[in-house]
Amino acid sequence: MPITKTTQKVDINQRRIINGADADVIQLYPMRHTFAWDAYNAANSNHWLPTEISMQKDIEHWKSPTTLTEDERRAFKTVLGFFTTADSIAANNVVLAMYKHISSPECRMYLLRQAYEEAIHTHAYQYIVESLGLDEGEIFNMYREVDAIYDKDEFILSFNEGIFNSEFKTGTFENDQKFLENMVVFSLILEGIFFYSSFAVMFGFQRQNKMIGSAEQIQYIMRDESQHLNFGINIINTIKEEQPELWTPEFQTHIINLIKKAVDLEAKFAAEVFPKGIFGMNADGFRKYIEHIADRRLARVGLPVQYNTPNPFPWMSEAIDLNKEKNFFETRVTEYKTGGTLEW
């Protein structure tokens, strides 16, 4: 991007999430989108690394012939297989789509931090795989072999075809709406729905006092993903304010239908991966939980809820504290600590 030599200062009123009139991503101030700066600072206070967490108990549990059932081993590996591909997809979207088209400097600051966190998550999965002596090829290639994972990934990636194109640019109604659709798919669906039955399973292990090191890492990842989700929702809602013409009734119906499709895919994933149920959670319970989560996502962007399903796994609120998703940054002084001192 060329620099225009001028004495005229940046006008805060020209700042936009996309299509900022000054498009000067070099100047952080004047700052318009303060939610992004809050997110950036909260994330820095929340820094952690996988190697801070002991895997000794997990190694003992995995080597033990009696601690884990075959169904539990299969569920653990499949969930891990999904996580590995999901965070890679998210990282690619941050670097190749969001960062390229977002013109808000403070939002770009947070995206750099988010991209780093996605790398930490991939590091965590590799740390778990290596610690337990799992077959790396089996885990990291599951998205190609397990239909339930492939279907979710294929659904998400189908929305990249236009926005990843090197010639794609925002600035037209059609392309701006395409970018907004991308934000919905990656924030509300990938990070806000597709992770959640897998989170429930990992925290199920924790409730049984099994694979506790792996589960603790997933808790840190869940906390990061909650930040990513909140940031994405703020981006969506701010674009709605800055460019209300994009949020047409037809587009809203389209988003609701995408969410419904995502619920079906995630329920199918849970039913196929955990056919006998696990830790007292069955296919019906997973679907109800996913519907409950989906309604929360719809409400956060001002769309009508579709299911009105109560949370069938109330203990999940203790594990991931869903209430924190609403005001995640307001409590960061007390809720965020470095990885080594965090208490759950």
Q: Is the dihedral of CA 80, 81, 86, 89 positive or negative?
A: positive
Question: Can you tell me which residue has the tokens 């925002």?
Answer: 170
| Contacts for 165-174: CB closer than 8 Å, 24+ residues apart | 168/101, 169/101, 170/18, 170/19, 170/101, 171/19, 173/245, 173/246
* C-alpha to C-alpha distance for 143 and 80, rounded to whole angstroms: 11
Q: Considering the candidates 127, 196, 289, 336, report the single residue annotated as catalytic.
A: 127
How far is the first Cα of the chain from the last one, in angstroms, to the nearest whole number?
45
State how far the alpha carbon of 221 is from the alpha carbons of 229, 273, 303, in Å.
12, 21, 27
Query: Active site includes 220?
Result: no
* C-alpha to C-alpha distance for 68 and 74, rounded to whole angstroms: 10
Residue 281, classed as helix, strand or coil, is strand
Residues catalogued as catalytic: 127
